[in-house]
Each structure stands twice: as C-alpha cells, then as structure tokens.
Structure 1
Amino acid sequence: MNVETTIVPQDEPAPPRRSRWPLALALLVVALLLLTAGAAAVLARLGRPFIASPFNATQTVGVDSDNPAYLTKLAGQAVREIEKVHPKGTYIVVDTYRNRLSLIENGTVIRSAICSTGTGTVLKDPRNEKEWVFDTPMGERIIQRKVTHPVWAKPDWAFIEDGYLPPKDSSERFDNQSLGNYAMYIGDGYIIHGTLFQSLLGRSITHGCVRLGDADLEFVYHHAPIGTRVYLY
C-alpha cells in the first residue's frame, strides 16, 4: 500500500535566466534515444515519473468511470496495444478501468481475478503543502521481489489521511496485517497484495497498489515468479 509521492514544491524566487541551448540539446538527445529504442513513452498522469514501455497505455485522465461502454472501449484499445508486443511466457495484465487482473501463461488466461486499484484522488499535507496522488501506475513493470507475510511500513500519508500526525517513533509505523499473506513488489513502492476488506474488491479504492482477494493472491503469488512482466492500463 505504499505509493509514490508527487511533491509540489513551494513557490521560490525565479532563478536567473539561462541559455536555452543546453535544454534544446538535452531534448534532442532524448528524442534520438526514443527513436532509436522504438519505445513508447507512457505517462500515467502529467508530472509523474517517466515509465518506458513497449506499448501505449491509455491515460486515466478524464475517464468517465460511470460509463461502462466507454470503459470497455478504452480497455479494448489498451489490450490491442499489449497484443502488439506479443508477450511470451507468464505475464500479468491489470485493467484499472474495470478492476480486473489476469494471469496469462503462453497466451492462455490461467487466472482472472477481481482486484482494486488507485482512486486517483489527491491528499495534501496541511503542514507543508506536499501532495500525494493515489494513482495506479500505467505501463509495463516487472515483479522485482516477493514476500510472504509482508510488513507494511506506513508512510506519512497513511497517518495524515486519518487525521493524525506521523509518529516520530518508527516502530509505530509497522503494520503486519494490511498487506495480507503475500506481496509482489513492482517498483516505486507499488505492490500487488492482499486486503482486509475483500467485500470492496472491484472498486477503485486503493492508494495506488493492486489489491487481490486471498485465494487469487495466493494463486498469482505461486504462479508468477520474480521477473514476471506486469502490464497496467
């Protein structure tokens, strides 16, 4: 349930005007690298970190979540992009529009599960105006590590959201229940994990992580090794 933080800096005096040539040169180098690699630039939301991915993930900005036909259309577009990549072996597809996770092996879906993904809401720290955006990241990631009986070190936002100040004693941050029995880490604090609130699965209610029910989580954990690709759209 860790999420990536997007920090909005406070206003500062305008820096001295610099030459545009270094910036132009840097942009040219980036453009050449992208053209050479043939990779698609995937941005889940303006201002979020760059995620290099071989397929174009459909953006979540402006999505009408109350229109099933529109969601189906967007999901279909993303699926077609994934099919262009022709993934091999075992991989995971997360449909954030309809909150579905599919575990696929050699082109066959071996597990289809209801999941929960990010709310897309913004939380602001009243002390310093820091902001957190609770989005599930779009694009391609991999399972970097796997943990049984994971312990969650609750970040500042978890306390601020509940109306409390973050504790000074780090031991007060540890939570050995909220993540469930298994966790698969896909980078930048995002995790595929369990939940204490299985009746809420199928809704966009997380802080960016992907939640699964107990049985589905156990199955995916044991069938998706470290290095498994995860496509999120």
Structure 2
Amino acid sequence: MSADLPPTLDETPEAAPPRRWLAVVLVATAALLLLSGGALLVLARLGQVAVASPLRPVTASASGEDEKILARRAAAAKTLERLRPRGVYIVVDSYRNRLRLYRDGELLRTAVCSTGTGVVLRDPRNGRQWVFDTPLGERVVERKVKNPVWAKPDWAFIEEGMLPPTDPNERFDPNSLGDYALYIGDGYIIHGTLFKTLLGRRVTHGCIRLGDEDLEFVYRHTPIGSRVFLY
C-alpha cells in the first residue's frame, strides 16, 4: 500500500489587507462624519488620524477703509440732496420725445412732445448753416407769453427756397406757436403746434412742441425762473 500523503490544500491563505485600504476606510469615515454634521473633522492622512477644531464663523469688524467708504457715501448723499431740484421744474427727454413737469420731485404731468430733427441747413448765398437740434443741459424759463407771435428767422425763409425779407413786418407769424409759449433762451421755445399728428417725432427746428391741453397745463403751472433739464 502506498504511504498516506498529507492532505492537499486547495486554497491559499488570504493576504493581509494592504495599508492603503486602512487609509481609504478612514477617509470614508471622515466623509460620513462631515456629511452628518459632526462637530469634529476626522482626516485620514498617511494612515494616521488627525482631529481638527470645529469650524466657527468669523465676524468681520468695520476697518478704517470701510469707515472711509461709508463717509464718502454719506457725503455723496448730502451732495445729491443739495443738488435736487426744488419747486417746479421741467424735464425733456429728447430721445423718447417726452416732457415731464415736476413739483418738488412729484410728477405733475407727462406729455408727448416733438423735438429737433438734427438736420443741417446751409445758406447757399454765404455758406452760413444752422443745426436743428434741441439743446441739451439745463436752461431756465425766461419769459412766458400768451398768444405768442413768431418772428421768423432767416432760416425759415431759406428752408422754403425764399430770400429773407428786408421788411421786419413780413416775418411775423401769429399762428405757428399756438396759444402759449415758454421761452428758454437762444430762440428756443416750448410752444404749440399746427401739426399734432407729428407729436412724438423729431420734426422741429430745435424747439419743443406740445399739444394744446398739455401746453396749457405746463404754461399755467410753470412759473418764470423754473429750471428746464434737457437730455
């Protein structure tokens, strides 16, 4: 009979888990603690465990630079308040063709208006030219006139292909300005119009045209000396 042989091992023993697996387990544990809102952060690094202090919010105190910024803001607010228009004033939006009347910041009236075309007209005799823009900036109502008469300037005749008359009486036009006019300097006027269907468009020679009801309201509620802001 053959000698009994030692039993054959079909499986080899499992190798010990490498050290890196320990690190992975610790990292996973730390992540779970973070997600669960634990007070301590458990960090796995090189197989060792480190415990960090709890995170606490830091309250920022106003620095000297912050105080300077606040001081500048306060000064700017005072300046704006000082420059804020008082009393009655007019604002003309020449882009949207809107006129607004205010009293101490309160809107009294919004009106559709017409403003300058921007067209350039040249006198063929001497090259003199006029630009039909509505002026921008700040002006003042210098005077107010009921039933105004327009003294036509040279360009009004040249535009029609006519020579300007030498007799001043031939320049007077009692109809084109409407029932009221507010003069704001340099020949510019807030006045009425015969062409009401053109309100809201840039069709004037630089003046601001209004419809009858809006013009009367603005005329009656705007004293001489009121500021006019045009942009």
**Could you say which TM-score interval applies, normalised by the shorter chain?**
0.5 to 0.7
Which of these residues, 171, 178, 181, is aligned with residue 180 of structure 1? Answer: 178
Q: CA deviation at 1:214?
A: 0.3
Q: CA deviation at 1:83?
A: 8.7
Counterparts of 1:116 and 1:166 in 2: how far apart (Å)? 26
Which of these residues, 112, 115, 120, is aligned with residue 114 of structure 1? Answer: 112
Which of these residues, 209, 224, 227, is aligned with residue 226 of structure 1? Answer: 224
Identity %: 70
Computed over aligned residues only, the root mean square deviation of the Cα atoms, in angstroms, reads 1.4
2:55 equivalent in structure 1: none
1:86 equivalent in structure 2: 84
1:202 equivalent in structure 2: 200
Q: CA deviation at 1:84?
A: 8.7
Q: Give the unaligned 5+ runs of structure 1.
A: 1-81
Cα deviations by residue, 1:174-195 (Å, 9 ceiling, x for unpaired) = 0000000000000011000000
Q: CA deviation at 1:89?
A: 1.3
Q: How many residues align?
A: 152
Cα deviations by residue, 1:73-95 (Å, 9 ceiling, x for unpaired) = xxxxxxxxx99931111100000
Moved >4 Å (runs of 4+): none
Cα deviations by residue, 1:111-130 (Å, 9 ceiling, x for unpaired) = 00000011111000000000
SS state of the match for residue 221, structure 1? helix
Which of these residues, 161, 166, 169, is aligned with residue 168 of structure 1? Answer: 166
| TM-score, structure 1 as length reference | 0.64
Counterparts of 1:187 and 1:160 in 2: how far apart (Å)? 23
Distance 1:180 1:131, change over 3 A: same
| TM-score, structure 2 as length reference | 0.64
Cα deviations by residue, 1:199-225 (Å, 9 ceiling, x for unpaired) = 100001100100000000000000000
Q: Give the unaligned 5+ runs of structure 2.
A: 1-79
Largest Rg, 1 or 2: 2
Which of these residues, 157, 165, 168, is aligned with residue 155 of structure 2? Answer: 157
Amino acid at match of 1:183: A
